[in-house]
Amino acid sequence: MDELEQARAQAVAPLCEAATSSYLASTEALARGDAARAQSMIEHALRLAPQSAVLAHQKGVILMTVGQLDEAEPLLRRAAMMNLKASAFCDLATLERRRGRLTEAENHYRLALTADPDAGLIWEGLAHVKRLGGDHAAAAQCLRRALPSAGDRQAAVLSELVHVLAHLAAWPEIERLKPRLAEALAATVHEASAFPLLSLEDMASAHRKAARRMVAARRPPLTALAPCLPRPNARLRVGYLSADLFDHATARLIVEVLEHHDRAVVEVVLLNHGPDDASPLRRRLEAAADRWVDLHGLSHDAAAERVRALGLDVLVDLKGHTAEAWPELILRRPAPLVVHWLGYPGTLGGLVDAILGDPIVTPPGAEAEFDEEIVRMPVCYQPNDAQRPIGPRPTRQAVGLPASGVVFCGFNAIYKIGRPVWRRWMRILEAVPDSVLWLLDPGPVTATVLRREAAYAGLDPERLVFAPWLGGADYPAHLARHQVADLFLDASPYGAHTTASDALWAGLPVLTFVGQDFAGRVAASLLHFLDLPDLVAASPDAYVEQAIALGRSPTALADLKARLKRSRLRPGGPFDAASTARAVEDALIGLHQRALTRHPNPAPASA
């Protein structure tokens, strides 16, 4: 037996009874979210069996869980080399993905597949990496491979598959899968992502069930932390929790509200668990905070203890059930009140106490759609930054548009553009000669599909114009190019949110209709508070008719742009951050006062 074989034999040798007991205690503790006990027990086991690959693997997983990626890597590599088990390669892949090293993550998933080629979880992991890399076609193929062995994860895999297919405009396959997805969601008690369901029609009840299951799957043990009691503080200490406190859509929306908070009323604590891109927006966010707390790399329990020690009155979650959200932290209840605002347009399944809305996105009766209390603010729920610079207006030719003819802009993310939306848009183009539809470039595969769909509708595919994505330092140029378009067309059931306010801020009118739920009502809310209610059509058919009428009337389009210019900075409108700040403060103070009423013996006031 050579040296490597001997080392492998030692690494996979059966554990003694004491080491096995400690190992099992460690895995149970980690499953409960108790990383500290999990690490203590695995250290004890390793003292008894220091060569064990199984124990090294478990320690690596624990360290990765608490954010110690550099310390976890050699342990996971050793476990993979010695044990050659798929699970070790999968955990290495997860580690590399969290570092943003997608090629390395894919390599590890493929090594895992050599050990277990039919494992659905490995195909799911590989699909995630492919999706992050923008290869939605490959991601879809991986998820199709995952389905046969998905077992009780059928709903989870189908939810992700439908979302990936939406990025490909693979509408026939989505329609075939929707009944199967609805059936799987109804039958399972296991977790499935709620977010993809927002962009599917007639899935509101399924979305609510999925949101509830996401919360149930992440709920910590009852012994994790005792509940916080409200404090009778004169000044509200509010913590905003997000992974998007950098040059990101959420940060661009909220930054001026943070700057306008009345410091006599509110103390602003920003709780960051995302990257630092060193952008001007990041520096502006840091300057807007009374206190900046970095939670990046902490375990759920450690982060909860850190937040709890701050003595917050209200924790405001800005993520919901979107990517990089931290429901495990929220469920540890590190503040007496937890409120959601801005990040997620729907119920969170009881993750938080209340959601901030307005009379349009959460109209009377919307309580039936939510597991949380709704607080309707008297302003648009979506805040905006009126300091966003707009670059020089380009020429049409400079952005690839024809010099003449009406330009309908549809800068929604491609996954929001389903077949019903597309058919409406094709009707509009057909009825407005020489018009074009200006879309964000969805990639060559999806662009080919959309051109083919236009041809099926009897239209010249060249009437679709694709714009490159512009962000970061090019964001002012992105805003400026809106000015050469004539009318922005909203999507449904998940409409434009930041995309709509970008267009309006740049001076481009938005046409919408009121959707069935929150996700489809944001543009209507923006227009309502801009005093442009005539741009909210009564129905999908009325939306098409109005778009056609406007497209045929240059005078009407010019009048709309003039009205928008006059109303853009109206007091109390979406771009009045000071009014939004007052409304948010009033909402949070009201919630805090009601919490004090419910607790006759509150905690002492914060220092």
pLDDT number for residue 218: 84
Claim to verify: residue 482 and residue 439 sit in the same structural domain:
yes
Residues 319 and 406 both lie in one domain: no
Q: What is the pLDDT of residue 223?
A: 47
Mean pLDDT within 18-38: 87
Beta bridge partners of 363: none
CA distance 182 to 202: 10
What length does the chain have? 607
Token pair recorded at residue 515: 């959707």
Reported as type and span, the H/E element at residue 542 is helix 540-551
pLDDT at 71 over 50: yes
Confidence at residue 3, expressed as pLDDT on a 0 to 100 scale: 47
Supply the CATH number for residue 536's domain: 3.40.50.2000
Point out the domain boundary residue: 63, 78, 99.
Answer: 63
Same domain, 426 and 336: no
Identify the domain boundary among 48, 63, 78: 63
17: buried, middle or exposed (CB in 10 Å: 19+, 13-18, 0-12)?
exposed
Residue 214 lies in a domain: no
Residues 410 and 377 in one domain: no
Q: Does residue 33 sit within a domain?
A: yes
Residue 158 lies in a domain: no
Q: What value, to the nearest 5°, has the Cα angle with vertex 241 and ends 282 and 280? A: 5
Q: Give counts: helices (H), strands (E), the chain.
A: 24, 13
| CA dihedral of 52, 54, 56, 58, whole degrees rounded to 10 | -150
Predicted pLDDT at 4 = 40
Share of the chain above pLDDT 70, in %: 95
Residue 446 has φ and ψ, to the nearest 5°, of -70, -35
* 144 Cβ neighbours under 8 A, 6+ residues apart: 161
Sheet holding 236-242, edge to edge: 291-294, 266-272, 236-242, 314-317, 337-340, 354-357, 373-376
Q: How many CA atoms lie within 13 A of 481 on its CB side?
A: 24
In angstroms, the Cα distances linking 152 to 155, 187, 191, 192, 601 are 8, 9, 9, 10, 45
Q: Report yes or no: 564 and 532 within 8 Å, Cβ to Cβ.
A: yes
Which pLDDT score is estimated for 337? 96
Q: Would residue 255 count as lying in a domain?
A: yes
> Facing residues of 409 across strands?
438, 488
* Per-residue CA distances from 61 to 31, 53, 77 (Å): 11, 12, 11
pLDDT at 604: 61
Tell me, what's the pLDDT at 602? Answer: 59
Mean pLDDT of 301-315: 93
DSSP state for residue 398 in the 8-state scheme: G
Edge-first strand order for the sheet with 536-537 is 464-467, 436-440, 407-410, 487-489, 510-513, 536-537
* Dist CA 607 CA 605 (whole Å): 7
| 407-445 tens-digit pLDDT | 999 999 999 999 999 999 999 999 999 999 999 999 999
Q: Which 8-state DSSP code applies to residue 576? A: -
Paired tokens of 557: 């389009």
For residue 127, the tally of other CB atoms under 10 A from its CB is: 26
Do 382 and 415 fall within a single domain? no
- Residue pointed to by tokens 């771009």: 575
What's the rounded mean pLDDT across residues 557-574?
96
Structure tokens at 432: 């407005």
The number of domains in the chain is 3
Query: Are residues 456 and 337 both part of a single domain?
Result: no
The answer as to whether 124 is a domain residue is: no
Query: Which pLDDT belongs to residue 449?
Result: 97
- The single-letter DSSP state of residue 518 is G
Q: Is 383 helix (H, G, I), strand (E, B) or coil?
A: coil
- In the prediction, which pLDDT does 1 show? 45
Residue located via tokens 């938080």 = 352
CB neighbours of residue 277 within 10 Å:
14
**Are residues 506 and 422 located together in one domain of the fold?**
yes
Cβ neighbour number for residue 579 with a 10 Å cutoff: 22
- Sign (positive or negative) of CA dihedral 237, 241, 244, 246: positive
Which of 63, 98, 113 finishes a domain?
Answer: 63
The answer to the question of residue 143 being in a domain is no
What is the chain's mean pLDDT, rounded?
92
Q: How confident is the model at residue 532 (pLDDT cuts 50, 70, 90)?
A: very high
Residues 411, 459, single domain; the answer is yes
Residue 249 reports pLDDT greater than 50:
yes
> In degrees rounded to 5, what are phi and psi of residue 354?
-150, 160
Query: 3-state secondary structure string, 158-227?
Result: HHHHHHHHHHCCCHHHHHHHHHHHHHHHHHCCCCCCCHHHHHCCCCHHHHHHHHHHHHHHHCCCCCCCCC
Range of the domain at 462: 397-567
On the question of pLDDT at 368 being above 70, the answer is: yes
Residue 542 lies in a domain: yes
Give pLDDT, residue 598. 82
469 Cα distance to chain centroid? 19
User: Which string of DSSP letters, residue by residue, matches 309-328?
Assistant: HTT-SEEEES-TTSTT--HH
Residues 353 and 446 both lie in one domain = no
Poorest-pLDDT segment among 40-54, 77-91, 512-526: 77-91
Buried b (16+ CB within 10 A) or exposed e, 387-424: ebebbeeeebeebebeeeebbbbbbbbbbbbbeebbeb
Are both 535 and 593 inside the same structural domain?
Answer: no
pLDDT in tens, 91-121: 999 999 988 899 999 999 999 999 899 899 9
Please give the full DSSP string across 134-157, using - where no structure is assigned: T-HHHHHHHHHHHGGG-GGGHHHH
Confidence band of 2 (pLDDT split at 50, 70, 90): low
pLDDT digits (tens, 9 = 90+) for 128-184: 999 999 999 999 999 999 999 998 999 999 999 999 999 999 999 999 999 999 999
Q: Is residue 488 assigned to a domain?
A: yes
Nearest residue to 233 (alpha-carbon basis) of 588, 587, 583: 588
- pLDDT at residue 597 in the model: 86
What mean pLDDT do residues 292-315 have? Answer: 91
Burial grade of 169 (CB within 10 A; 0-12, 13-18, 19 or more) = buried
Domain CATH for 593: 3.40.50.11380
Q: Give the span between the Cα atoms of 288 and 286, in whole angstroms.
A: 5
| CA angle in degrees (0–180, nearest 5) for 145-146-148 | 85
CA 23, chain centre distance (Å): 35
Let me know whether 415 and 560 are in one domain.
Answer: yes
Residue 31 pLDDT? 82
Residues 109 and 129 sit within 8 Å (Cβ to Cβ): yes
Q: For the chain, what is the radius of gyration of the CA atoms? A: 26
Residues 528 and 407 grouped into a single domain: yes
Burial of 489 (C-beta count, 10 Å sphere; 0-12/13-18/19+): buried
